[in-house]
């Protein structure tokens, strides 16, 4: 597959990006290299190779989910520098 300036412009439009002309040439070369690599991978004979879901043979390496004690609301609020009866007070971060 050949990457053209029209392809780069279409991708830039879809991604809402703007490129200078010299950047387009660099991206065109990079995309061409990526496509050539994928085309090279298509040549590999994978008959008899099952799809790989995980890198290891482990079925379930996770621990059991055990319910343990937790901190009460009152205990959590004791560590708060600013609080209301039930809530943490935090500085306003969204400006309107």
pLDDT tens-place string over residues 40-85: 999 999 899 888 877 777 777 788 888 888 888 888 888 888 888 8
> What backbone torsions phi and psi does residue 29 show, to the nearest 5 degrees?
-65, -40
Domain boundaries, the chain: 5-42
What global pTM score does this model have? 0.48
**Rg of the chain in Å (alpha carbons):** 27
DSSP SS3 for 72: coil
- What is the rounded CA–CA span in Å between residue 74 and residue 87? 10
């Amino acid at each position: 597959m050949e990457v053209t300036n029209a392809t780069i412009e279409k991708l830039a439009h879809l991604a809402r990006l703007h490129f200078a002309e010299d950047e387009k040439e660099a991206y065109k070369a990079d995309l061409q290299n990526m496509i050539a690599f994928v085309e090279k991978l298509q040549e590999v004979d994978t008959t008899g190779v099952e799809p790989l879901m995980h890198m290891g043979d482990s079925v379930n390496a996770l621990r059991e989910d055990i319910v343990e004690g937790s901190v009460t609301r009152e205990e959590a609020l004791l560590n708060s520098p600013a609080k209301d009866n039930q809530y943490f007070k935090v500085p306003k971060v969204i400006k309107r």
